[in-house]
Each structure stands twice: as structure tokens, then as C-alpha cells.
Amino acid sequence: MDTSIWRPILYLIGIMAFAGINAAYLGWCERKGAGHIQRRIGPKEVGPFGLLQPLADGLKLMSKQLIVPQGVDDIIFRVAPILAMIPAITSMVAIPFSANIQARPIELSVLLIFALASIAMIAILLGGWASGNKYAIISAARSVSQNVAYEIPMLITVITIVMLTGSMNLEEIAMKQQGGFWNWNIFPIVGHSIAQAIIMPVSFIIFFICSVAETNRAPFDMAEAESELVAGFMTEYGSMGFGLFMMGEYLNIVVGACLTTVLFLGGWHGPFGLTSGVLWFIIKIYILIFLFILIRWTYPRTQIYKLLNLSWKVLIPISLANLLLTAFFIKVF
């Protein structure tokens, strides 16, 4: 009985710490990464290697006044940043970091995370709408059409995984990928047909593109295209309102990376089947996050209509074909 009380508290603290540290330090990683990509040093003044920079930034943001401009929808304007942050933290509840490290084993955890990801989109919509700023409204409209477009191929791709593993429980999906990388869903050579092994990398690429688009990251950062829309939905936000949106964005990246790791990269299992554990999970998500950063600082931004065309005309047909082929191979072999 004892454990039933301590478990939630422990996990609550653990997840909050994990989320908080990630939200703060991914900003540092991003700036440091961008710096080195651009032949600069990046933050270096505050603390060793600029490690205290996020702290200084946080202090600065918190000490600033939250300006609520005239003519905005006051309540929604204040709620939106919080709404951007909460779903991202909440979805960490369902993520299995290792065999027994999961805040709450949920049977339909895949579904839960996608439901929560959609709420984050509503936060952007509300924030943009409540600001009463034309740039913000354009940005909100863009972000909704973008999210609707990219959730479809993402979900279809997830269905192939669910069909392959026969479960919607993230822990079970990860357990099924036990062993070396040849057992992971990205290259399912063992236990599946060769055709499957060809299809799954395609699924992975679709899923990864979609998760970049879902998290509003460059080159798909239509919602905050700063050369077009100033700061998009965040234009009117200052102080911690802006800070929460930023943290929410980074947490969404973490959740996206965690999900990709569990669905495709074998969760906490080591690549050669020898060791497994939470360390492998962390390594994998940070490799993915680094990929996010690398992409952002390399490519220019696409255009909203090209972005939607990519989803509706390329990704959705491919992912549907993928789904059908997967179903076919599962039935036949």
C-alpha cells in the first residue's frame, strides 16, 4: 500500500524535473548547436560554457511584466501559454523511459499522446486569436491547417506500427522490439517479411517529417515565420507568457523524440541486444533532438501552400499505401 502513495509523488517530481530541465536546457543546446553550426561559440558568458544562461533567461523573463495589450481577450490570452505547456508535460506520463520506469502504464498510451498533442495546437490557435493581432491570427490559421494536415499521415503511420505490434501500449510496443537494432521497428528484419523491412523505413521518414511539422519547427515553422509574421502567435506575448510558449515548444520536441524512439527505435533497448536501460533511451532521444536542431539551422523555410501540398499530395498517399501494404503482408505472411 505504501508504494501506491509514493509512486505518483515520485514520478510527478521526476517528470516535472525532467520536463523543466529539458525545457530550459534545450534552449541552451539549441543556441550552442546553432552557434557551432554557424562558426560561432554560442552562449559562453554566464557560467562555464554558458550553462547558467537558461537560468539568467528565466530570471529575466520572470522579472518582466506580463503586458496584456488593449482589446485582447483577457482570460484566453492568459490561459493560452499555460495550455501550450500542460499537454506536453502531461503526455510524459505515458512515456516508458525504461522497462519499469513509466509514470502510469496506460493501455492506450499512443492515443493519449496524440490527443494531448492536439491540445497544444489549440493553445496556439487561442493565443493567436486572443491577441487580436493580424500577424497572430494569420499565424494561428496557418498552424491549424498545418497541424490538421500533418496529423493524418502521422496517425496513419502509427496505425502501421500498431498493426505490426498488435498493441497501443507504448511499453508493449517497446518490449516487442527487444534485442538488437534488427528487431526495431525501423528495420524489422527479424520476425517479419523482407517487404516489411523495406516499408518501415519509409514509415519512419514520414513520421519524422510529420513530427517536425507537428512541433512547428523549421523548415516547417509556418506559425512563427519571423520574416513574414514577426513572431506569429507569440507577437503580443512578453515575459513568461512567451517563456511558456517557448518551453512548450521544446517539450513538444522532447515528446516527439520520445515517441519516435519508442515507436521506431526500440525504446530503451541497446542497439546490439547486449544492454538496455534508460540510458539508451536518453541517448536516442537526444540524437533525434540534435537532428531537429541541425535541420532547423540548415534549411530555409518552406511556404505554407507547399507545406500543405507536401502533406496532402505526397505524405498521405504514401502513408495510405504503406498502411495497405502492411495490412497485406501481415495477412499473407
CA 157 from centre of chain: 16
Q: What is the DSSP string of 29-58?
A: HHHHHHHHHTTS--S-SSSGGGTTHHHHHH
C-alpha cell at 333: 505472411
Quote the least distance from Cβ 225 to another protein, whole Å. Answer: 6
Minimal distance, residue 254 CB to another protein, in Å: 22
Q: Which is nearer to another protein, 306 or 331 (CB)?
A: 306
Site residues (CB under 8 A) for another protein? Answer: 34, 37-40, 134-135, 138, 142, 218-219, 221, 225-228, 230, 297-306
CA angle 232, 234, 238 (to 5 degrees): 145
Give Cα separations from 240 to 43, 82, 243, 323 (angstroms).
21, 10, 4, 43
Q: In this complex, which beta carbon is closest to another protein, that of residue 104 or of residue 134?
A: 134
Whether the ω angle into residue 201 lies within 30 degrees of 0, i.e. cis, is no
* 142 or 176: CB nearest another protein: 142
State residue 276 phi and psi, 5-degree precision: -150, 160
Query: Would you say 63 or 227 has its CB closer to another protein?
Result: 227
Looking up cell 507537428 gives 214
Cα 163 versus chain centre, distance: 23
Q: Cell numbers of 198, please?
A: 523495406
CB of 134 to another protein, least distance (A): 5
Contacts of 3-9 with CB under 8 Å at 24 or more apart are 8/103
Of 13 and 67, CB closest to another protein: 67
Residue 286: all three cell numbers together: 537526444
Q: Shortest distance, CB of residue 135 to another protein, whole angstroms?
A: 8
Judged by beta carbon, residue 40 or residue 60, the one nearer another protein is 40
Least Å from the CB of residue 76 to another protein: 21
The CB-of-278 to another protein minimum distance in angstroms stands at: 34
